[in-house]
Amino acid sequence: MTTIRISDDALARACGADLLAAAFTKAGATVERTSSWGMHWLEPLVEVDGKGFGPATIEDVNAILDGSSGKGIGVIADHPFIASQQRLTFARAGRTRPTNLGDYEATGGWAGLRRARELGPEKIIDEVLASGLRGRGGAGFPAAIKWKTVAGAVADQKYIVCNADEGDSGTFADRMVMEGDPFALIEGMAIAGEAVGATRGYVYLRSEYPDAIAKMNAAVQASAHIVAPFVVEIRAGAGAYVCGEETSLLNSLEGKRGEVRAKPPLPALKGLFGKPTVVNNVLTLSAVPHILTEGGASLYDSLGVARSKGTMPIQLAGNIKHGGLYETAFGITLRELVYDIGGGTQSGRPVKAVQVGGPLGAYIHPDQFDIPFDYEAYAAADALIGHAGITVFDDSADMGSMARFAMEFCAAESCGKCTPCRIGSTRGVELIDRIKAGGRELDALEKTPQMHNMPKKGRTQDEEIQLLEDLCETMKFGSLCALGGFTPYPVMSALKHWPDDFRG
Amino acid sequence: MSREQKLSEIISDHSGREGPLLPILHDVQEEFGCVDEEAEQAIAGALNLTRAEVHGVVSFYHDFKPKADPRPVVQICRAESCKSRGVEALISDAEKVAGGRVKLSTVYCLGLCSVGPNARVGDTLHARLDGPTLARLIENA
């Protein structure tokens, strides 16, 4: 009997994988549900003896089974999109059944944890330090330094908190790890617990990911005896974007409003319930099991450029022909990612802009497509890598309205604690509307003789633009966290590169 | 089982957990379709909080509603990636199809950013939507 492999990742399911799997079962085939290879334009992708067919529909079932289907892409592992990657975090993608412990162990699972337990806390942290691993959530803070701080703190209880509140549009790598390789994340958390002396771990998972919540819960249950005495618990978020910020995430876990906390004190010293806490992103923690295997740290350190070491799971999204998950060493350029790998836009129109790093990332003009993928190089170009989501826009995009949306989004999602973010975002929306309208007239009140200190005329379009720049400056330096602080990136970059889109 | 009994059952299910408020609110929202004043009062009493504190939490998060809405809900993603794939052009027609029967709500990102426009109905996700498929989705909601 033929064995068919189809992903049960949320994306494949949203594209009809469940119906397809049922049709294959009905046709007499054995169906195995695996993780996704990450070639999203081919989902649902059907795998028969290593060969792929996609995107498949139920009409293709018989043709695929009798070998006459025209949707074949050859051997999946040899496909250029896969073969050109360097997959460490996503080594199992497409190859294993996500919540199957046997599959996990057969592909090297738990080797990192076993070795970590032999090494002991100090040496675990040395290994992570040697690998050069930096936080994958966006800030790029060296993971080992954070761990060392928590390890050095004295407390009766410490926590490992996994930030799985992947709210950025254009990012889905966390989701793919949790749905495709959940044990790797659990193993990474257990290793972190071993390193810092924590016995409890929480995964704060956004409620917009129902599949990931179900898979993680199943995986936690199945692996409880392996990671014990370390205990992992999944907690669902409640639709607040700002809870992806680590301190508001901690407040939310404690059952409070997801408001940002002022730092210091650092969460590493006073985190969850006031106890020393490691807060790391899903990708950071799931990179750890590989690093802790024999020789893993030095391999990781040998990849990448300058201070950006190892691999980054890059997410190709938006209006792109070949969207999906592309894990590769740092240093790759946007030109390669968007054109060579991504195949340009889905619509076939020219690329107008690329947003890197989610809603708070800068819009990058095609003229800048040669900057290497590297934390420092992006910072120097007034942009950020963030969580490495890349959203492509074609020439039909109106960058003025995208800038307005950035402000609107910030206003909708602001936690309200600091003024630049709470008020500034709303003023930003109004300002962009006024720029589009060509400036601002004096209002009735301002024209009254009592208001003699007012300027004698309204503001021109240029003066409004100047005001928007000032507002962005205030938000950037005056906000408590990255929501208000980084919203100026998409706004200012859009204004800089596409000023005509702002003038109505 | 009465409403009160159900409420206290949900609350006691989570006793002993660290930071039990959000899990309780999720269960209450799921069970009753909202977290209303009465529920806030009961939760506050059980957790030794003021109702104001509980209300502050309920009103902070998009997932918790003060009043139940009997209409079926279709969540449409309107974040950057879905915008770049043309979701905005589908909205006005979708609103017409939804009329007063179906509630359309905006969600910022379902994490299927390479195959948008996307929508969610209950726990089921839908991708690669265009005018006709979105209309069908709303009609069947």
Beta pairing, strands A72-75 & A363-364: unpaired
- Average the pLDDT over B99-128 and give the result: 96
- Average the pLDDT over A317-335 and give the result: 97
- Average the pLDDT over A294-303 and give the result: 94
B63 interface with A at CB cutoff 8 Å: yes
Asked if the model's pLDDT at residue A504 lies above 80, the reply is no
Q: Please tell me whether the peptide bond between B117 and the residue prior to it is cis, using omega within 30 degrees of 0.
A: yes
A468-479 pLDDT per residue, tens: 999 999 999 999
The three-class DSSP label of residue A134 is: strand
- Average the pLDDT over A257-286 and give the result: 97
CA distances from A197 to A151, A201, B18 (A): 6, 11, 19
Q: Are A295 and A127 in contact (CB under 8 A)?
A: no
43-62 in chain B: CB under 8 A from chain A: 47, 56-57, 60-62
Asked if the model's pLDDT at residue A61 lies above 80, the reply is yes
List of residues 6+ apart from B107 with CB closer than 8 A: A208, A239, B75, B76, B77, B78, B120
Domain that holds residue A311: 304-394
Q: Are A313 and A290 in contact (CB under 8 A)?
A: no
Give strand pairing partners of A390. A316, A356
B121 membership: H or E segment, kind and range:
strand B119-121
The closest of A355, A372, A277 to A319, measured between CA atoms, is: A355
Asked if the model's pLDDT at residue B21 lies above 80, the reply is yes
Tell me the C-alpha distance between B107 and A416, whole Å. 20
Q: Are A184 and A235 in contact (CB under 8 A)?
A: no
Give me the pLDDT at residue B1, please: 79
A336-354 pLDDT per residue, tens: 999 999 999 999 999 999 9
Tell me the C-alpha distance between A399 and A130, whole Å. 42
Residue A91 lies in a domain: no
The closest of A375, A394, A356, A258 to A307, measured between CA atoms, is: A375
Domain count, chain A: 4
Tell me the C-alpha distance between A340 and A322, whole Å. 10
Asked if A450 and A327 sit in the same domain, the reply is no
**Contact between chains at B107 and A208 (C-beta distance less than 8 A):** yes
- Average the pLDDT over A116-145 and give the result: 95
Tell me the C-alpha distance between A415 and A422, whole Å. 7
Query: In A, which residues are within 8 Å of B125 by CB distance?
Result: 10-11, 13-14, 211
What proportion of chain B, given as a percentage, has pLDDT over 90?
96
Asked if the model's pLDDT at residue B9 lies above 80, the reply is yes
**Interface with chain B: mutation pick from A169, A232, A410, A422, highest number of B CBs within 10 Å:** A169
Asked if A43 and A184 sit in the same domain, the reply is no
Tell me the C-alpha distance between A160 and A273, whole Å. 12
Tell me the C-alpha distance between A125 and A410, whole Å. 37
Write the DSSP symbol of residue A78.
G
Give me the pLDDT at residue A138, please: 86
- Average the pLDDT over A388-400 and give the result: 97
List of residues 6+ apart from A131 with CB closer than 8 A: A291, A296, A297, A298, A300, A301, A309, A310
Asked if A136 and A279 sit in the same domain, the reply is yes
Query: In B, which residues are within 8 Å of A355 by CB distance?
Result: 80
**Interface with chain B: mutation pick from A39, A208, A235, highest number of B CBs within 10 Å:** A208
B25 interface with A at CB cutoff 8 Å: yes
A315 interface with B at CB cutoff 8 Å: yes
User: How confident is the prediction for chain A on average, in pLDDT?
Assistant: 96
Tell me the C-alpha distance between A7 and A324, whole Å. 14
Domains and CATH numbers, chain B: 3-60 (1.10.10), 73-140 (3.40.30.10)
CA angle A12, A14, A17 (to 5 degrees): 45
Q: Name the residue of chain A whose CA is nearest to B81's CA.
A: A318
**Contact between chains at A346 and B115 (C-beta distance less than 8 A):** no
**Is the interface score ipTM higher than 0.90?**
yes
List of residues 6+ apart from A154 with CB closer than 8 A: none
A14 interface with B at CB cutoff 8 Å: yes
Q: How confident is the model at residue A482 (pLDDT cuts 50, 70, 90)?
A: very high
Final residue of a structural domain among A83, A110, A137: A83
Burial class (CB in 10 A: 0-12, 13-18, 19+), A99: buried
Asked if the model's pLDDT at residue A55 lies above 80, the reply is yes
Residue A48 sits in a domain whose CATH number is 3.40.30.10
Looking at CA atoms only, how far is residue A235 from chain B in angstroms?
A: 7
Asked if A292 and A175 sit in the same domain, the reply is yes
Give me the pLDDT at residue A456, please: 87
Give me the pLDDT at residue A1, please: 73
Asked if the model's pLDDT at residue A306 lies above 90, the reply is no
A449-463 pLDDT per residue, tens: 999 988 889 999 999
Residue A123 lies in a domain: yes
Residue A125 sits in a domain whose CATH number is 3.40.50.11540
Beta strands in A172-307, from DSSP E residues, in sequence order:
200-205, 231-236, 277-281, 304-305
Looking at CA atoms only, how far is residue A293 from chain B in angstroms?
A: 30
Looking at CA atoms only, how far is residue B43 from chain A in angstroms?
A: 12
Give me the pLDDT at residue A454, please: 86
Looking at CA atoms only, how far is residue A208 from chain B in angstroms?
A: 6
Give me the pLDDT at residue A171, please: 97
Final residue of a structural domain among A360, A394, A428: A394
Which tokens belong to B133?
A: 């498929």
